């Protein structure tokens, strides 16, 4: 069967980059927005000033660049791999978050989170063993 060996070596680095860039982008955007302060009242002029302030933040631009890189790697990997393969496999980002929080930030991670991470890990391992492309076009 053609599809079973249809796994270009470029697949794994890209599948790794997708969740990394997407979570990194969200963290950077979050950091940028925290620095903005809360919007006190809604009017056109306050929103316009807020918008310009947002665009002057380095964190926001780093976040946007990271999310753009996420989208590019996502498009590239979807040009040959199944959506039903990429979707669960890139869920590794949810495992990375508690792991990094524990290792780097010394956060106490509740037991249910570790159970959830183990579920995701097993699910990704299962999906990872299926052929990445079944439509015969990739």
Partner 1 sequence: MRTFLFLAIVVLSGTGGDIAVTHAMKQIGEVRSFVPRALLGVLRRVSQSGWMWLGIALMALAFFSWLTLLSWAEVSFAVPATAVNFIVGALGAKFLLKERVSKARWAGMLLVSAGVALVCVAH
Of the candidate spans 22-30, 43-51, 57-65, 115-123, the one that interacts with partner 1 by CB under 8 A turns out to be: 115-123
Of the candidate spans 34-42, 47-55, 56-64, 123-131, the one that interacts with partner 1 by CB under 8 A turns out to be: 123-131
Q: Does 39 bind partner 1 (CB under 8 A)?
A: no
- State the burial class of residue 7 (Cβ atoms within 10 Å of its Cβ: 0-12, 13-18, 19+): middle
| Strands (E) located in 1-138 | none
Task: Collect all residues with Cβ–Cβ distance below 8 Å to 127 and sequence separation of at least 6.
Answer: 85, 88, 89
Q: Look-up: residue for tokens 């990394």?
A: 20
Whether 82 and 134 have beta carbons less than 8 Å apart is answered as yes
Number of residues that bind partner 1 (CB under 8 A): 43
Residues 5-34 that bind partner 1 (CB under 8 A): 8, 10
Residues 60-79 that bind partner 1 (CB under 8 A): 74-76, 78-79
3-state secondary structure of 94: helix
Task: Work out which of 21, 59, 70, 94 binds partner 1, going by CB under 8 A.
Answer: 94
Cα–Cα distance measured from residue 130 to residue 31, given in angstroms and rounded to the nearest whole number:
38
Task: Work out which of 12, 53, 84, 107 binds partner 1, going by CB under 8 A.
Answer: 84
Cα–Cα distance measured from residue 98 to residue 30, given in angstroms and rounded to the nearest whole number:
17
Interface residue list for partner 1 (CB under 8 A):
8, 10, 74-76, 78-80, 82-85, 87-88, 91, 94-95, 97-98, 110-113, 115-130, 134-135, 137-138
């Amino acid at each position: 069967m053609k599809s079973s060996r249809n796994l270009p070596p470029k697949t794994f680095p890209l599948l790794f980059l997708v969740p990394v860039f997407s979570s990194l982008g969200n963290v950077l955007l979050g950091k940028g927005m925290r620095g903005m302060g809360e919007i006190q009242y809604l009017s056109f002029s306050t929103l316009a000033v807020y918008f310009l302030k947002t665009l002057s933040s380095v964190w926001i631009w780093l976040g946007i660049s990271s999310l753009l890189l996420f989208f590019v790697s996502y498009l590239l990997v979807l040009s040959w791999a199944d959506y039903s393969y990429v979707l669960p496999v890139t869920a590794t980002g949810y495992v990375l978050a508690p792991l990094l929080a524990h290792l780097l930030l010394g956060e106490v991670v509740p037991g249910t989170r570790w159970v959830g991470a183990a579920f995701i890990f097993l699910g990704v391992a299962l999906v990872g063993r299926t052929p990445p492309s079944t439509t015969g076009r990739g």
